[in-house]
A and B are shown apart, each in its own frame.
Chain A
Amino acid sequence: MTAAITPRRVLTYAAAALLLVWTVFPIYWLLSMSLMFKTELLSVPTHLAPLEPTISNYTRLFGGSAIGPGGTELPQVGQAPMIRRGLLNSLVIAVSVTAATMAVALPVAYALGRLAFRGRAAMLFAIILSRSYPPIAVVVPFFYLYSRTGLQGTLRGLVIIYLTLTIPMVVWVMTSFFSSLPRTVEAAARIDGNTRWQAFYRVILPMSWPGIAVAAAISFLVCWNEFAFSQILAAGSTAQTFPPALSTMFFQVSQPNEMAAASIIAIIPPAILAYLFQRRIRSLNLVDPL
């Protein structure tokens, strides 16, 4: 099938090319940097792609040693142990926060999405307000409270404050999802002998797993990508997550290639999740759940 070349088609493909470049190039550049030796990065004119690609920036982050372009051994990455510890902390926190969030947020999202009750509008407003609360304003009282209760620099402390981000987000997303299910589900479940709670727990929840999976993925991403709380409440401690560890590397020494490699590692889990769920994210309304 060949289509006629019309001005509109030319324009469409030009715009598509532009959108592609705009979306991909910044990340491409980071990837390209992460595959270069520093000597190549500093060459003028700048190479737009690595001539001799190397994975040494990645292997050295995980404790390996590597030979540089001149045949000499490259220096160890001083922050490598911190980066590895940060990855582990980020994973532990993201998983525990997501589990806790689901337990608390799913029932209320079900109520908001499917039941008419007094205070529903007020509840929704409270959820939106908590969602728009500036994190930097949240962290000021937390910093003071944590400094007096010993929660500073602990995984527990970070899990607690991350709930302020994930719960409103998940309630928002799942309210939208639950309200999109057919209205007759509960009535049918009740005729089959289920109580109200069983109708929710045994019928609605299992049929909602696609929505729950997306909500869990989003909650995981929010924790994985969070920087400010961890930087302010746990920087330099054993509970420090990946992003503050990365920031130390970013500011202390000039190691742009190793830094680019570490950033690519940070981007991989979210990119995979976004790819897996992009169709659902598109159909799921993240903006307007009512």
Chain B
Amino acid sequence: MIATSPTTQPTPPAVAQPRRWSTSRLGDGQFATLLTLPVIVVLGLVVAYPTLYSLWMSFQRIDLIFGTTEAVGFANYRQALTSPEVWHSVRVTLLYTALVTIFAVAIAVGGALLLNERFRGRGFLMALVILPWAVSLYATAVVWKYIYSPEWGLLNAVLQQRLGLSDGPILFLSERGAVPALAVAHAWQIAPLGMYFVLATLQVIPEDLYKAAKVDRLGAFGRFRHVVLPYIKTPLSIVMVLITVEAARVFDIIFFMTNGGPGDASTTLTWDIYRQSFVNRNLGYGAAVAWILVVLTTIITTVYFLLLFRNREKRPDKAAVGEAT
């Protein structure tokens, strides 16, 4: 830690002058408070205040046209929790989130294992794979809408016209296909960050462990199971939780690609909140449904936080980093 003993103080040039106040007189805790004060004020105004406000809203019936509110107690929550629409969108959210996580983790781990190999063009590919991450979610939605398009889509051009795998154009965004198709698009965008993170972890695995695995005659799978997995287990769970939260928050992709449809096949909680709040202008009810989503993401985030903090010293990936610094 930073030394705070008086010996590190500069010798005052003029003892007669009263010493000016300086941050050096503060302890760690006081200086930290000073530094965190601005962020507490700003986040208090733009996050905490609206959050509490939305809690209040969820107990009101709000009429935007007349600008009136009426306290209705738990009516909004009762309505939400007994609404088949809300439960449907909870199910869609869970399915969508699970699919995005599975797809993205598979891409991230596969890509990282590949980029950890030695081959020509590796540097180029490594620089290139970040590209989807830089593409915003709404642009990702536009990109994939045109990939899936039955009229001029790339996938139909290849699958149907070139390979003849289908008689007519395939409707990817159909009632059954919409959620998986959206999940693929989202996974495409979100996977690169996980890939970089897993790759960084793979690169701290000591070379000796691979050599030992060779001596023990372990195959590719054995190497993955006994050498790689212990290292990437915790980082991978962290990536998974992050992706899960991102997927549960999805909005842009639904807005651009399906509008929650066909019917309500891809109506996630976020889309339900959007529709209730800003299409039906039922802000109190929308706020109540939003709180259901917040509870869901808060649970996931708490798991994430505990993962980061728990067993820190036992993690091989951190132990290696700790020695280096």
Contacts and interface: CB of A to CB of B under 8 A. Distances in A.
Nearest to A257: B152
Interface string B289-305: 01101100110110011
Interface in B216-252: 235, 238-239, 242, 245, 248-249, 251-252
B287 A140 contact: yes
Given A140-B287, A274-B130, A48 B157 contact: yes
A33 B131 contact: no
A161 B50 CA distance: 10
A140 B119 contact: no
A260 B146 contact: yes
B312 interface: yes
B200 A282 contact: yes
B308 interface: yes
A278 B134 CA distance: 10
Nearest to B133: A274
Contacts of B129: 19, 23
A107 B39 CA distance: 9
A278 B130 contact: yes
A171 B39 contact: yes
A187 interface: yes
B16 interface: no
A46 B161 contact: yes
A260 B143 CA distance: 8
Nearest to B56: A141
A16 B54 CA distance: 48
Interface stretch (B29-37, B79-87, B207-215): B29-37
Contacts of B162: 45
B143 A145 contact: no
Residue of B8, B235, B283, B298 most packed against chain A (CB within 10 A): B8
Contacts of B133: 274
Interface string A227-259: 110011000000000010011001000001001
A140 B252 CA distance: 16
Given A132-B298, A221-B134, A161 B46 contact: yes
Nearest to A100: B42
A12 B146 contact: no
Nearest to A186: B2
A283 B245 CA distance: 23
A271 B134 contact: yes
Given A29-B146, A141-B287, A227-B136, A115 B31 contact: yes
B313 interface: no
Contact of A13 (B36, B119, B156): B119
Contact of B117 (A12, A25, A132, A190): A12
Contacts of A141: 50-51, 53-54, 57, 287
A68 B216 CA distance: 68
Residue of B38, B131, B149, B283 most packed against chain A (CB within 10 A): B131
A17 to B, nearest CB: 10
A254 B122 CA distance: 40
A9 B119 contact: yes
A271 B133 CA distance: 9
B24 A195 contact: yes
Contacts of A263: 139, 142-143
A29 B152 CA distance: 10
Interface string A215-230: 0000001001111100
A9 B120 CA distance: 10
A281 interface: yes
B24 A196 contact: yes
B46 A137 contact: no
B127 A278 contact: yes
B74 interface: no
B42 A163 contact: yes
A121 B23 CA distance: 23
Nearest to A277: B130
Contacts of B273: 136-137, 140
A190 B11 CA distance: 11
A137 B293 CA distance: 8
B130 A137 contact: no
A224 B136 CA distance: 8
Nearest to A36: B152
Contacts of A29: 143, 146-147, 154
Interface in A14-69: 15-16, 19-20, 22-27, 29-30, 33, 41-42, 44-46, 48
Interface of B: 1-3, 8-10, 22-24, 26, 28-29, 31-33, 35-36, 38-39, 42-43, 46-47, 50-51, 53-54, 57, 62, 64, 67, 107, 110-111, 114, 117, 119, 121-122, 125-139, 142-144, 146-147, 149, 151-154, 156-158, 161-162, 188, 193-194, 196-197, 199-200, 235, 238-239, 242, 245, 248-249, 251-252, 255-256, 270, 273-274, 277-278, 283, 286-287, 290-291, 293-294, 297-298, 300-301, 304-305, 308-309, 312, 325
9 contacts: A48-B158, A115-B32, A136-B293, A137-B290, A142-B50, A143-B278, A193-B10, A267-B136, A281-B130
Interface of A: 9, 12-13, 15-16, 19-20, 22-27, 29-30, 33, 41-42, 44-46, 48, 103-105, 107-108, 110-112, 114-118, 120-121, 123-126, 128-130, 132-138, 140-145, 147-148, 160-161, 163-164, 167-168, 171, 180, 182-183, 186-187, 190-191, 193, 195-198, 200, 221, 224-228, 231-232, 243, 246-247, 250, 256, 259-260, 263, 266-267, 270-271, 273-275, 278-279, 281-283, 285-288, 290
Given A20-B125, A108-B38, A282-B130, 5 more contacts: A27-B143, A107-B38, A227-B137, A259-B142, A260-B142
